[in-house]
Amino acid sequence: MKISPKIKINETIKFSTITTKRIIKGNYPRKLYFLCTSPFHETSFEIVKGQYLDERYKDCYLLALSKDKDFLLEQVQWLVDGLYNTKDITYEGLVKDVNDTMELN
């Protein structure tokens, strides 16, 4: 899975460079919920638990990460509002790979 530069992470999660590398390699934390772009339709979003992520999601972009779905539903609301109502963000800005904007060691 690729990581969006505009990723939102719930403050209850300890997120580090090691976690980032694990997610990029496809080793997903099984108990966390992921908000990502859909592998089936490129302009859709999905909320998926880590245990259900597989190789189909390797080309998707991670947009938010949380221990519960409520935080992710708020993020979907924020994304839809920003994309369609206020036009503060663009879809292309969401799906730009984090490796293009920062260097991971």
Entry pTM: 0.85
pLDDT of the residue at 104: 40
Per residue in 25-69, pLDDT (tens digit) is 989 999 999 999 999 987 889 999 999 999 999 989 999 999 999
Residue 90 tokens, joined: 């663009």
Residue 75 tokens, joined: 């993020």
